[in-house]
Structure 1
Amino acid sequence: MQLANPDASYIMAVAECCRSLSSEERRIYGVCVVNVATRKILLGQVCKI
């Protein structure tokens, strides 16, 4: 199916983690995006204080 239609098709996953440090609460978000047409993987992470 992918060989017949080479348009980009994506799968995305998001994860959240919460950590408490002394008086601060930090949230960490992880993102993974996969382009299944080209087999490329993109990873990212964001920290929110």
Structure 2
Amino acid sequence: MTKKTVPVKPHRRSTPSPTPRPNPNKPKPGPKTVPVKPHRRKPPK
């Protein structure tokens, strides 16, 4: 077996967040904050 020289990649992210949030008190937008468009509504059965 030949040893391959593979550069070791750090799996753990050691870098801190790039920029702090401008407004930490602002509530995070949920996944369903986008209003449902009328043409995408399902027709009533």
- Greater strand fraction, Structure 1 or Structure 2: 1
TM over 0.5: no
Higher RCO (C-alpha 8 Å, min separation 6): 1
**TM-score of the two chains, using structure 2 as the length reference:** 0.24
**TM-score of the two chains, using structure 1 as the length reference:** 0.23
